[in-house]
Structure 1
């Protein structure tokens, strides 16, 4: 029997983010954009009602596993993703440095 309240992660390409759902509700997301062949993660949020349940870690793990499985690279602009990489060595080899050019490019996304 499957627990219908078990968190589920899905990629939402239309919104450029991975979402974690709990009982069908979006509990959080990590936003990304693809740039120069790399997936740039720039913002991660878990709603307050779902805080402290380890959802951000599950979400980012799923997203990074997908990038790795597809032979991709990431740029961790998001502070949460950057910190996650320091604690999970298995993903460190996926990361390229955050450059001033990438930071400037991410700033242009705010108005979208």
Structure 2
């Protein structure tokens, strides 16, 4: 079942400048979707899937197993923006996180504001 969609906005992300693509254009059209039944979060651009985060859920502990980005869109900050959406959503649900995925583990190390989510 598909649930909430969230659109990334510059003013919602702590004053960070809008991400830019390799060509220098702003990439602010991403939408984020949590597919509860699939245990997956998806980033889409104009209806095309460009990033995913997969997880397993045991009670209120989410083990993040995979983060992936469309190879043609790497370097645009999609994985970081998607991971921010994922961790914020998990926090709002009262879940804790086990970052089995190396990308997510490194992201949390680099963003200590998410350290409280660690199981």
Same fold (TM over 0.5): yes
Between the two proteins, the alignment pairs up a number of residues equal to 92
CA distance in 1, matches of 2:33, 2:60: 21
2:90 is the counterpart of 1:60 = no
Higher strand share: 2
CA distance in 2, matches of 1:28, 1:52: 12
Unaligned residue ranges in structure 1 (runs of 5+): 97-112
Corresponding residue to 1:17 among 34, 40, 48:
40
Q: Deviations over 1:16-62 (max 9, x none)?
A: 11000011100010101101420110111001111111000010100
Q: TM-score, normalised by structure 2?
A: 0.73
RMSD of aligned alpha carbons: 1.2
CA distance in 2, matches of 1:72, 1:93: 11
Moved segments of 4+, more than 4 Å: none
Higher helix share: 1
Q: TM-score, normalised by structure 1?
A: 0.78
Unaligned residue ranges in structure 2 (runs of 5+): 1-27
